[in-house]
Homo-oligomer: A and B are copies of this chain.
Amino acid sequence: MADDMQDQRPLRSTDRSLPIALLRAREAVMEPVREMLSRSKISEQKWRVLRVMEEAGPVEQSVIAERACLLLPSLTRIVTAMEADGLLERAVSKEDRRKTIVTITEKGRGIIREHAPESIAMFTRLADEFGREDMDRLLDLLEKLQRMER
């Protein structure tokens, strides 16, 4: 009701602004994660790429870019560096020679394995403190939001 009056209404408080609330929540959650990653000199972005690649299997770069929330030009640089570090391999697709198929290497998987226990422990601790049910509810809602807008 009264949606036509919205031009006169003030903006929501920043706590109830979805973009700001998502950002603040993420910053809060990322604090210990950043601490963990910085110890092993792997950037947040590279970690996301590893996670996405391990999950998706061999994939083209556009897919990685979308799922890791990176632009293609950024991904090109990141993937080049990671290939040099032996964390992944690139190959031209046989079906479509425009595509580059990227595969995680054993060394790349090693990085994930190395951090998995601590990563899981952090999440478990957070979920316990936050409440498991609320955490599930939150993840459900985030998935729904993600799926809606595209």
Residues of A within 8 A of B (CB): 3, 6-7, 9-31, 33, 48, 51-52, 55, 67, 69, 112, 116-117, 119-121, 123-124, 126, 129-130, 134-135, 137-139, 141-146, 148-150
Contact B124 A6, beta carbon cutoff 8 Å: yes
Q: In the complex, are the beta carbons of A138 and B139 less than 8 A apart?
A: no
A29 contacts B18, CB within 8 Å? Answer: yes
Q: In whole angstroms, how far apart are the Cα atoms of A31 and B117 in the complex?
A: 34
Pair B124/A28 contact, Cβ less than 8 Å = no
A27 neighbours in B (Cβ, 8 Å):
69
Docked pose: A138 CA to B137 CA in angstroms: 8
CB distance from A58 to the nearest CB of B (A): 16
A141 CB contact (under 8 Å) in B6, B23, B138? B138
Evaluate contact between A28 and B139: CB separation under 8 angstroms.
no
* B130 adjacent to A21 (CB under 8 Å): no
A22 touches B20 (CB 8 A): no
Contacts of A126 in B (CB 8 A): 18, 149
